[in-house]
Structure 1
């Protein structure tokens, strides 16, 4: 007697269900709901586990599970009747986290069914004026991540209607809308606008976020006027501004490398008196910038690599008694005179001066730093005598 494909599939599913049920048989409902099902991929729960028995189907409705839809499944769901049936049956009621890739209106129309969704990630999708309306229906959403998407003009207006939102991440998107709408999010604590080609008017809007504590603006060209604006944001505890994917842990630590900040921009930054680490490599701050930086009396680590620094600027830096780590390489205008100034920094523990013009005599000054534990002197114009001194 031949066995049809349908019979084989049914038999396999029956064996699968029996196997699952035998493993978890007798476990209390709350253990399944809170400690087991949340750690199983959502697509597995609603496709297979819910079929085991009616009790499990009800538990899954209440379970805080996650749902991850990659590109292939995202395209299939556009016309998948089962997906709509899952929605109608309330199987997404308990879902707390969802991630979708390359979806459109066909899936987003289901968002109102996700009543308890708290975290939503959207990747490589089109958020049009039509389908973004359904995102605004997620009234309990706390974190929204939109990555590599195309955002049409009304998207920010719809997002601003989600008053429960506390974290918003908009990375590497092409958008054609007004960021000003987002200032309506009165409870927003975290905002990431990475690689978004922000303009000065966008930066100025950030001052209107009264409750913002975490701001990440990496991979945006931050200049002097931007620095002035950011220096007035008093509620921040985390600030990311680096153009090299380096993040900032707090306002005791500020990374601003690889930007376009000169002495005028530094003038605004020195208002941050709590700074302990300041990274300003590859900015044209020059001697005047060093004069201003020397006013930061709590600074312990300073990176001025490739900043058009000269000996006179080093003289001001050398007066910073709190410094323990100084990186000042790739500044060819720093000579043996600069080394003489550096030798007066009795508390310095780490010093980097590669690719400067410090010669043999300058090295003799540096080795007299009793507290120095590390010295980077690569690429200096030294003779054999200078190398022996090291």
Structure 2
């Protein structure tokens, strides 16, 4: 047997240990999406040809020593995510020879306290260490591996250890959200110098502690589709250079301290389907045209100085401070009514005055009136 896929069933209980022959040809083992508990069996790591091992979304528990995978010399894809495991990486060193073919490593929700040393995993392209307890600096080797997907979100990370990132780190999705990254010199360079890696496609640095400005050079990220810098303390104005990100589909700058106006250059982004600038200190008229006509009001709320569609507020009249064009029109209509009413009153008053004070006209008027009866 070479391929065994038992994923997404309702298998439960514990897998018992049993001996494996060295000649086993099993290269694909998928047990994900079940309710299998207990420790991960040791015989899994005695399968010499194992290429794919997917154990995520189960109830595996106990402490798992990551150095066990060193025996699987051709292992390429490993997922231990979403179990009740505590993965111990302390005995994993850079001298280990067990990762030369590792391409995918997923260990989300594995109670990790320390980064595994994967410096010799030169083919690693997908690394998920999210939802753990990783703390301190992001190690320098992270930026030297050619990863396409890197998820370090929901940890306790506070800074970066080395910049710049290798040019090979491109065409990538970078998720650093919900950490405790602070504006150290390294982090400042990351946000300001993000001009350097034009092939990034998604960058999520939301819910950290950035307090630096967004620099105009961010417009050099020509391949960027998603940029999320929300829930930080970013200040200054939104750079006009964002209008050069022609592939941008989602931009979230909400919950910051951004000032100034929304650049009209953003209306040139024909793929932009989400723009969230809520809860900043922006002012002025919201740009109109193209995608801006489809955005809802909640994406702009929390900016007392913003006005225009889709908000209900509008600009004041440039001629009369505090008034709107609609108020001026109403005032013109009211004056027309006043003029007509005045003419009517003057006309009736003139007839009444003539009849009252001119005897001849009064007698003639009443005489004709009696004849008519």
Place the TM-score, normalised by the shorter chain, in its bin: 0.5 to 0.7
**Cα distance change, pair 218–282 in 1 and its aligned pair in 2 (3 A):** same
Unmatched 5+ residue regions in structure 1?
Answer: 1-61, 245-249, 367-374
- Cα pair 1:142 1:164 within 8 Å, conserved: yes
Match of 2:232 in 1: 283
1:250-329 superposed matches below 5 A? 251-264=200-213, 272-288=221-237, 290-291=238-239, 294=241, 297-299=244-246, 300-301=248-249, 302-310=251-259, 312=260, 314=261, 317-320=263-266, 322-324=268-270, 325=272, 326-329=275-278
Cα shift readout 1:250-293 (whole Å, capped 9, x = no counterpart): 833433333322325767856534324423222221225x24x6
Return the offset for 1:145: 1.2
Aligned to 2:42: 108
- Point out the structure with the larger strand share: 2
Alignment check: 8 A CA contact 2:219 2:243 kept? yes
**Cα pair distance change 1:155/1:347, threshold 3 Å:** closer
Structure 1 partner of 2:101: 164
Is 1:99 aligned to residue 49 of structure 2?
no
Picking from 216, 225, 239, the partner of 2:151 is: 216
Question: Which one of 124, 137, 152 corresponds to residue 71 of structure 2?
Answer: 137
Stretches of structure 2 that go unaligned for 5 or more consecutive residues are: 179-198, 316-322, 328-373
Shift of 1:168: 0.9
Structure 2 residue corresponding to 1:195, chosen from 117, 131, 137:
131
Give yes or no for contact 1:163–1:187 (8 Å, CA) kept in 2: yes
TM-score (norm: length of structure 1)? 0.57
Query: Which position in structure 2 is the counterpart of 1:334?
Result: 282
Residues 77/230 of structure 1: CA separation in 2 closer, same or farther (3 Å cut): farther
| CA–CA distance in structure 2, aligned partners of residues 135 and 356 of structure 1 | 53
For 2:256, what is the secondary structure of its paired residue? coil
Rounded Cα–Cα distance in structure 2 between residues aligned with 1:172 and 1:215: 15
Structure number with bigger Rg: 2
Matched ranges for 1:1-390 at <5 A:
62-67=1-6, 72-74=12-14, 77-78=16-17, 83-84=18-19, 87-88=20-21, 93-99=25-31, 101-104=36-39, 107-109=41-43, 111-113=45-47, 115-121=49-55, 124-129=60-65, 132-147=66-81, 148=83, 149-152=85-88, 153-155=90-92, 161-175=98-112, 177=114, 179=116, 181-209=117-145, 211-220=146-155, 225-226=159-160, 229=163, 234-241=168-175, 243=177, 251-264=200-213, 272-288=221-237, 290-291=238-239, 294=241, 297-299=244-246, 300-301=248-249, 302-310=251-259, 312=260, 314=261, 317-320=263-266, 322-324=268-270, 325=272, 326-331=275-280, 333-335=281-283, 338-339=284-285, 342-343=286-287, 348-351=292-295, 352-358=299-305, 362-363=307-308, 366=309, 375=310, 377=311
Give 3-state SS (helix, strand or coil) of 2:106's partner: strand
Tell me if the contact between 1:273 and 1:296 (Cα under 8 Å) persists in the aligned partners. no
Separation (CA, whole Å) in 2 of partners of 1:71 and 1:323: 49
In 1, the alpha carbon distance for the partners of 2:38 and 2:265 equals 58
Query: How far has the Cα of 1:96 moved from its partner?
Result: 1.0
- 1:40 equivalent in structure 2: none
Give the TM-score normalised by the residue count of structure 2: 0.60
C-alpha contact (below 8 Å) 2:144/2:168 kept by paired residues:
no
Q: Distance in 2 between matches of 1:381 and 1:350?
A: 18
Count, aligned residues: 282
Q: C-alpha separation between the residues in 1 aligned to 2:79 and 2:39?
A: 16
Partner Cα distance (2:136, 2:305) in 1: 40
| Stretch deviating more after TM superposition (146-155 or 114-123) | 114-123
- Aligned counterpart, 2:338: none
Q: Rate the CA distance shift 1:71–1:260 in 2: closer, same or farther, 3 A.
A: farther
Separation in structure 1 between the aligned mates of residue 97 and residue 55 of structure 2, nearest angstrom: 17
Q: What is the CA–CA distance in structure 2 between the aligned matches of 1:268 and 1:298, rounded to whole Å? A: 11
